[in-house]
């Protein structure tokens, strides 16, 4: 049944989502700082890349609140305290939160928005839920490689790209040092996971 936006649950859910995205963005930015400090610049980039996308999600949810301009929305909500020195654990925590948004929270918010007659908002929740799944998968993959010491070692020959200078090679293990820019192994990422990598001729 259509509901007036100002008295809807959807406007609260949008604010909850905006708060959640804002916090995720900050948590990932903090995590990136930790990764960098621990000599894992590629993992730092994974966190920053995702942080930027959370900012966009936040903006999308926030902009759906235009009708509430000038007002304050009071919400309750639970938000995680993901503090640990262990990078693999940080990645696992991030994975867990992303899956929670995908499996439960945004689907529920989307269904509610649909029920209340806010189709555009419902679409945002449902589509962003799918993106969060890919975020969770990516964090999980990096966590696994880190846990198994396979971040820079593959079972089969694979493409690697240096995120500092763009040098590409195909080997089982990423170079200990980039032969072009001298940056260490921590700057390498599997080519298939590098944003903007041209995979067309691979």
Interface residues with Fe ion (CB under 5 A)?
A: 21, 54, 57, 98, 132, 135
Least distance to Fe ion from the beta carbon of 50, Å?
6
Least distance to Fe ion from the beta carbon of 93, Å?
13
Least distance to Fe ion from the beta carbon of 152, Å?
25
| Nearest to Fe ion of 54, 116 (CB atom) | 54
Q: How far apart are CA 184 and CA 153, in angstroms?
A: 14
Least distance to Fe ion from the beta carbon of 149, Å?
26
Compute the Cα dihedral for 180, 184, 187, 190 and give only its sign: positive
Which token pair is 97? 């939160």
| Nearest to Fe ion of 98, 116 (CB atom) | 98
Least distance to Fe ion from the beta carbon of 139, Å?
9
User: 121 burial class (0-12, 13-18, 19+ CB within 10 angstroms)?
Assistant: buried
| Nearest to Fe ion of 11, 57 (CB atom) | 57
| Nearest to Fe ion of 21, 82 (CB atom) | 21
Answer for the pair 47, 29: CB distance below 8 angstroms, yes or no: yes
| Nearest to Fe ion of 120, 199 (CB atom) | 120
């Amino acid at each position: 049944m259509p509901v007036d936006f100002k008295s809807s649950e959807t406007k609260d859910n949008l604010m909850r989502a905006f708060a959640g995205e804002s916090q995720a963005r900050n948590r990932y930015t903090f995590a990136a700082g930790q990764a960098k400090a621990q000599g894992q610049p590629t993992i730092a980039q994974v966190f920053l890349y995702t942080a930027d996308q959370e900012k966009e999600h936040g903006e999308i949810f926030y902009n759906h609140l235009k009708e509430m301009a000038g007002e304050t929305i009071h919400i309750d909500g639970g938000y995680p305290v993901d503090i640990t020195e262990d990078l693999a654990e940080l990645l696992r925590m991030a994975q867990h939160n992303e899956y929670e948004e995908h499996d439960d929270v945004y689907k529920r918010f989307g269904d509610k928005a649909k029920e209340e007659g806010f189709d555009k908002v419902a679409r945002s929740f449902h589509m962003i839920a799918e993106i969060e799944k890919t975020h969770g998968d990516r964090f999980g993959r990096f966590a696994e490689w880190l846990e198994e010491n396979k971040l820079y070692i593959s079972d089969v020959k694979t493409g690697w790209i240096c995120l500092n200078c763009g040098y590409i090679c195909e080997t089982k293990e990423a170079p200990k040092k980039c032969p072009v820019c001298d940056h260490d192994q921590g700057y390498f990422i599997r080519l298939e996971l590098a944003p903007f990598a041209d995979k067309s001729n691979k």
